């Protein structure tokens, strides 16, 4: 029989799992980290996007923080701003970001954030929210803002450059907003 001290870690683990499942159900997007190769593709596309030296780069759905860390290292003069709605990945990434002065992670729905000052935006979401994200970017971004989508592209928009991943690895697509509709 389990005693109360033994139950606490089990209850905590179950609570964390339930939280992740709940927010996956609400958003339709699981908190899946990007692979090193996928991150490298995003960084390469952004390096070729003519960003200003002190760029402001948003990561919509920053999850566990892997992309934000890589962006902070690749663009040390840039300001990286991640937004994550799921509390468990958000708290995990906040802990990971403590040593990065150029990274801020916000908790909340990125659709409720003002990202109008962005020089670049990255996202690794799912097919379901991409149409809504496209509309959100139409209303928020200034002309010429670089947008890189990983794996799930904006199907109704003209891709400017891409990097294809082999096998199950997703590709990355670069757009300059407002991306032309196809």
Q: Which pLDDT does position 168 carry in this prediction?
A: 55
Q: Which of 174, 182, 134, 176 is nearest to 156 (CA)?
A: 182
Q: What predicted TM-score, i.e. pTM, was given to this entire model?
A: 0.85
Segment 80-105 shows an average pLDDT of: 91
Strand partners, 82: 59, 105
Distance CA 96, CA 52 (A): 26
Least confident of 62-71, 85-94, 102-111: 85-94
Q: How far is CA 108 from CA 82, 123, 125, 128, 179, in A?
A: 10, 15, 15, 19, 26
pLDDT tens-place string over residues 110-167: 999 999 999 999 998 777 778 889 999 999 999 999 999 988 888 888 888 888 876 5
pLDDT tens-digit readout, 12-46: 666 555 656 655 556 656 666 778 888 999 999 99
Considering only residues 117 and 4, tell me which one the structure prediction assigns the higher pLDDT.
117
Q: Cα(56)–Cα(92) distance, rounded to whole angstroms?
A: 22
CB atoms within 10 A of CB 44: 16
User: Does position 104 have pLDDT exceeding 90, yes or no?
Assistant: yes
């Amino acid at each position: 029989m389990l005693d109360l001290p033994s139950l606490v870690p089990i209850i905590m683990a179950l609570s964390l799992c339930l939280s992740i499942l709940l927010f996956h159900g609400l958003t339709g997007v699981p908190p899946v980290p990007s692979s090193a190769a996928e991150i490298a593709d995003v960084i390469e596309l952004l390096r070729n996007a003519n960003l200003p030296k002190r760029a402001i780069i948003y990561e919509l759905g920053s999850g566990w923080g892997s992309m934000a860390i890589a962006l902070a290292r690749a663009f040390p003069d840039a300001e990286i701003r991640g937004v994550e709605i799921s509390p468990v990945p958000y708290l995990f990434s906040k802990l990971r970001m403590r040593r990065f002065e150029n990274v801020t992670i916000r908790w909340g729905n990125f659709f409720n954030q003002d990202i109008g000052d962005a020089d670049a935006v990255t996202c690794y979401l799912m097919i379901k929210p991409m149409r809504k994200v496209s509309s959100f970017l139409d209303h928020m971004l200034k002309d010429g803002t670089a947008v890189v989508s990983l794996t799930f592209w904006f199907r109704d928009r003209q891709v400017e450059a891409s990097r294809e991943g082999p096998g199950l690895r997703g590709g990355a697509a670069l757009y300059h907003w407002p991306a032309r509709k196809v």
